[in-house]
Amino acid sequence: MAVEEIQRVGVVGCGLMGSGIAEVCARAGRSVIVVEADRPAADRGRQRVEASLRRAVTAGKLGEEDAQAVLARVEVGTDFGAMADRQLVVEAVIEAEPEKVRVFETLDKVVEAPDALLTSNTSSIPIMKLAMATQRPEQVLGLHFFNPVPVLPLVEVVASLLSGDEAVALAERFAVEVLGKRAIRAKDRAGFIVNALLIPYLLSSIRMMESGFATAEDIDTGMMKGCAHPMGPLALADLIGLDTTMAVANSLYEEFKEPLYAPPPLLARMVDAGLLGKKTGRGFYDYADGERRASR
């Protein structure tokens, strides 16, 4: 299959990542069907796409007619059977191995084309574990996007030991030639390239705050003004989601058993309390009215 032949894309999950992936594929002129767990989740997902497109129009990056055309190419529903004719599917559900394995078991049953690409947006779970849930592991690989998907240009392309060379090359060409992303290839190890480097940095900043060594504001200001980072590590953890940060850390620790990957107790307690960062209104900072402020 040539890259220009991939016209029908499926996305499983329409949260922050799934909605962004759906948007960039629709912006590239592809027909996109998104599947969510239930109708309320599907409605929230479509609203995320609409809100993102409105921001693009307000910023002058997209015309109103173009935004409406993009939205018309996105269908959000709850029927997994709608994935049957898709040529490329991106799984973007929560960062939990059992949930992702179930998605790939289902995709293997419903996606009809044997050469369709079944990909995962996982940030840490080994692709091999997902591939072995199917009868076509050579067509399974990782396509790891970064949040916010319409803005950040990077995609990690991750091949398992069983991923076919043609499938990997086709996925990479789709990311680069169709979506306009910059692709890097990563080995099938927990965390891949970016999170294997990023997560220890985030966890170190949490330990520094937890120990009372410095405040969240001073840690973030130090990295922004002293190292020219666009965002401090604690604000970044809030943006990623503290539950996702901990899930990736646990996956890394399970694979490598190195202390730098172990989630600090403070992170675990915040996740237990539902203080997950920006998406819940409170994490290391408060976001009650949309503005970021020092947390209580």
The residues annotated with a catalytic role in the active site are 123, 144, 156, 195
Q: Which residues of 202-230 are buried (b: 16+ CB within 10 A; e: fewer)?
A: bbebbbbbeeeeeebbebbebbeeeeeee
For 262, other C-beta atoms within 10 Å of its C-beta total: 17
What are the CA-CA distances from residue 48 to residues 15, 18, 121, 136 (Å)?
Answer: 8, 10, 18, 32
